[in-house]
Amino acid sequence: MTMMEKVIAASTASSNGRFFTVWLVMSWYSSNIGVLLLNKYLLSNYGFKYPIFLTMCHMTACSVFSYVAVAVMKITPMQTVSSRIQFYKIATLSFVFCGSVVSGNVSLRYLPVSFNQAIGATTPFFTAMFSYIMTVRRESWITYVTLIPVVTGVFIASGGEPSFHLFGFIMCISATAARALKSVVQGILLSSDGEKLDSMNLLLYMSPIAVVILLPTTIIMERNVIGLMMELTNKDIKLIFYLLFNSSLAYFVNLTNFLVTKHTSALTLQVLGNAKGAVAVVVSILLFRNPVSLVGMLGYSLTVIGVILYSESKKRSN
């Protein structure tokens, strides 16, 4: 192979690599925003008022697809649970994760996606708080200062939100706090080299445990869900398609998240995540036509700026 051919081959490989990365990012954006909007449509607009059952459907799909992806397709090497203690740690994470997803789905019944995303952007605040409480790890003073606009922005957005609902707000804050708690607990529980699992293997083990937790919870708290679901299906068979597609999309979010991190970096994923929230807000407003106020948008913008400053501060301190 001549030097020119080698240059052309390298250029083609680089171009294909960039194209694949862009495709991954677009897929991650589409699945992330898609599952959020479809959850909102099902739980609020469509009238399927069973967030716990919907979460159980998501976890069931994640259980099946995770096994296929890891054990059959070998997307990532399969890691085994080495001890009973490690299993208990994973079960603890699964419980916290269930609380996060269920609370988030409940909040979508009462809040527009735009406000939901504004509250969700405060995750760094709760992460810093739980990290300090549980590990006594202090960040630099400038990092804590950057959290002020994060929290202030949500207060401003709440005051200017036309569709504010107190219970939905509490559920969304709970979901955001639980999401942050899960990341901190994961860092504590699975910190040793022998216990670390990549995100796909962790999902493989967490999902079935989540189904076991959510099944009795659904039976107790949404006891008439099967009968009413059959009644809704008789009226509109598309409900089955919505649930299957929505559940598959929930797994695809985790898969693309893992692949984007693998082919870029965790920092890139964080930056893309900040932009994803803004895109989700715009798309949801266009689709659902929920009213927004200038004060609310200013509050959300302040929160996003705070999150960006927080990310930059963390990057510099590390």
Instruction: For residue 195, report the phi and psi dihedrals to the nearest 5 degrees.
Output: -110, -10
CB 252 within 8 A of CB 31: yes
What pLDDT, on a 0 to 100 scale, did the predictor assign at position 15? 52
Closest CA to 91 of 213, 176, 198: 213
For CA atoms 298, 26, 259, 108, give the dihedral sign.
positive
Condensed to tens digits (0 to 9), the pLDDT of residues 23-39 reads 888 888 899 999 999 99
Give the Cα separation of 61 and 55 in Å (integer): 10
Record the pTM: 0.85
Closest CA to 256 of 197, 196, 200: 200
CB 272 within 8 A of CB 28: yes
Q: Place 11 in a pLDDT band, splitting at 50, 70 and 90.
A: very low
Q: Place 5 in a pLDDT band, splitting at 50, 70 and 90.
A: very low
Q: Place 16 in a pLDDT band, splitting at 50, 70 and 90.
A: low
Token pair listed for 206: 């967490």
Token pair listed for 127: 């992460």
Give the Cα separation of 304 and 298 in Å (integer): 10
CB 112 within 8 A of CB 191: no
Across 44-48, 61-65, 167-171, 313-317, least confident range: 313-317
Give 70's DSSP letter: I
- Site of tokens 């919907």: 54
CB burial of residue 220 (10 Å; 0-12, 13-18, 19+): exposed
Q: Place 142 in a pLDDT band, splitting at 50, 70 and 90.
A: confident
What pLDDT, on a 0 to 100 scale, did the predictor assign at position 54? 94
Condensed to tens digits (0 to 9), the pLDDT of residues 235-291 reads 888 888 999 999 999 999 988 888 887 777 655 666 677 677 788 888 888 888 888
The domain spans of the chain are 20-317
Q: Number of H helices and number of E strands within the chain? A: 12, 0
Helix H, strand E, coil C: the string for 218-274 is HHHHCCCHHHHHHHHHHHCCHHHHHHHHHHHHHHHHHHHHHHHHHHCCHHHHHHHHH
Q: Is the pLDDT of residue 4 over 50?
A: no
Condensed to tens digits (0 to 9), the pLDDT of residues 103-114 reads 999 999 999 988
Give the Cα separation of 101 and 92 in Å (integer): 15
Q: Which residues contact 153 (CB under 8 A, 6 or more apart)?
A: 118, 121, 299, 300, 301, 302, 303, 304, 305, 306
CB atoms within 10 A of CB 6: 10
Q: Which residues contact 254 (CB under 8 A, 6 or more apart)?
A: 62, 199, 200, 203
Instruction: For residue 83, report the phi and psi dihedrals to the nearest 5 degrees.
Output: -155, 165
Give the Cα separation of 187 and 267 in Å (integer): 17
Give the Cα separation of 276 and 155 in Å (integer): 21
Q: Place 13 in a pLDDT band, splitting at 50, 70 and 90.
A: very low
